[in-house]
Amino acid sequence: MTGWTTWPSREALSRAGRSQARRGVGRGVRVILAGAAVWGVTARGGLGAWETFGAVIGVLVAFAVVWAYFRTTLRHLLWPSVGLMLLLMAGGVVSHALGGDVAGSILWCGCTILSVQRLPLAAAAPLAAGSLTGFGLLGGGGNWLVVTLTALGLVLGGYTMRLDAEARGSTQRMLAQERAARAAEAESATLAERARIAREIHDVLAHSLSAQTVHLEATRLLVERGADREMVLERIVAARRMAREGLAETRQALSALRGEMAPVEEFLRELIAAEGARLEVKGESRGLAPEAGLAVRRVAQEAMTNVRKHAPGARVALRLEYRPEEVELEFRDYGGKTPVDNSLGASGAGYGLRGMRERAELLGGALDAGPVEEGFVVRLRVPA
């Protein structure tokens, strides 16, 4: 029952999405029908100027009613649409009474097709039946076989046009949904990129600037207490070193955001060059996606920073393993001159291993860190 009371969709009733050729054919059909209606009234001859003028005005009024009908059905206004159809059907009766059988037949046939095409079927059925009755009784010429076949063709044609319009409307809705989905995906990608940039800025600058702040505050205290010049210079040099390291890391982050990073292995070798550490590479080397490569770099940097802070002098070994669908970095230190305290909680907010774990999880990977028999191990796995 729902299908009988359901309107065709607004996309189906609208002309949006129709090709220029299809619109041109529609205009041509309307012109032909208008010409046939005028000819049907005037062909019998004997009409004066006023009668001919009245016939033309009647055709124009009929087209105005059809235009209004298209607007009311597009807005799903049932009773105004039914009223306009009844007005057209009445126009067919008037045309027949004035001797315009062709014009009347065109109006009745048009009402049948337009009712079935654009109205809920529950309203279209009685209107189409009324139009076909008028056509059969007054305009069919008495040949009931022709009238019956014509009526079936009109109903079938109107319903076919309805189905075609619904299919076009469904395509339009799908295209609109696809565009909306693409727009949402683009917005999501933009937000993800902004989050990535914010994360890089936070990881680099927060670490560098906080370390410089500590050194400069210590320098201030030393100066206030009249400390030895060498101690003050030592703090200033440390702050300068941190500034240089922060600048280098900022450049690396910007290069990563542009996808212009150096190979991971090259970066790891530069990182451990001054520490006397060793690097083992397993599997077939390949380029990594920017996010994966950046995660490996950041974890290696953080782990090396923890060694310097909590296990100075410890031996360090790195293992980078390329697997079919992921890459694994293992960073292991073997104790140092002071007790090992490389816990996640002690590594600092944002830039520490806790932040690296969040970065790995965002990529669909994992990060494990904890003490072992001798020293501490950090193990990162990310898809690559």
Sheet containing 366-371: order of strands: 278-282, 316-322, 326-333, 376-383, 366-371
pLDDT at 330: 92
253-279 pLDDT tens trace? 666 666 656 678 888 888 787 677 888
pLDDT at 320: 92
Encoded tokens for 70:
């298209």
DSSP at 14: S
pLDDT at 110: 85
Q: Are 380 and 367 in contact (CB under 8 A)?
A: yes
Mean pLDDT of the chain: 78
Weakest mean pLDDT among 148-162, 240-254, 344-358: 344-358
pLDDT band (50, 70, 90) for residue 206: low
pLDDT at 262: 66
Q: Are 74 and 14 in contact (CB under 8 A)?
A: yes
Q: How many helices (H) and strands (E) does the chain have?
A: 13, 5
Taking the CA atoms of 66, 72, 74 and 79 in sequence, report the sign of the dihedral they define.
negative
Weakest mean pLDDT among 59-68, 265-274, 364-373: 265-274
Q: How far apart are the C-alpha atoms of 95 and 40, rounded to whole Å? A: 10
pLDDT at 4: 79
SS3 readout for 330-378: EEEECCCCCCCCCCHHHHCCCCCHHHHHHHHHHCCCEEEEEECCCCEEE
Encoded tokens for 27:
């205009």
Give the domains, in start order, of the chain with CATH numbers: 2-142 (no CATH), 262-384 (3.30.565.10)
pLDDT, average across residues 345-362: 64
Burial of 207 (0-12, 13-18, 19+ CB in 10 A): buried
Q: Cβ of 310: how many Cβ atoms within 10 Å? A: 19
Query: For 143-157, b where at least 16 C-beta lie within 10 A, e where not — what string?
Result: eeeebeebbeebbee
**pLDDT: is 38 or 374 the higher one?**
374
Encoded tokens for 116:
């079935």
Its pTM surpasses 0.75 = no
pLDDT at 293: 84
289-345 pLDDT tens trace? 877 888 888 888 888 877 877 777 788 889 999 988 899 999 988 865 544 444 433
First-residue to last-residue Cα distance in the chain: 55
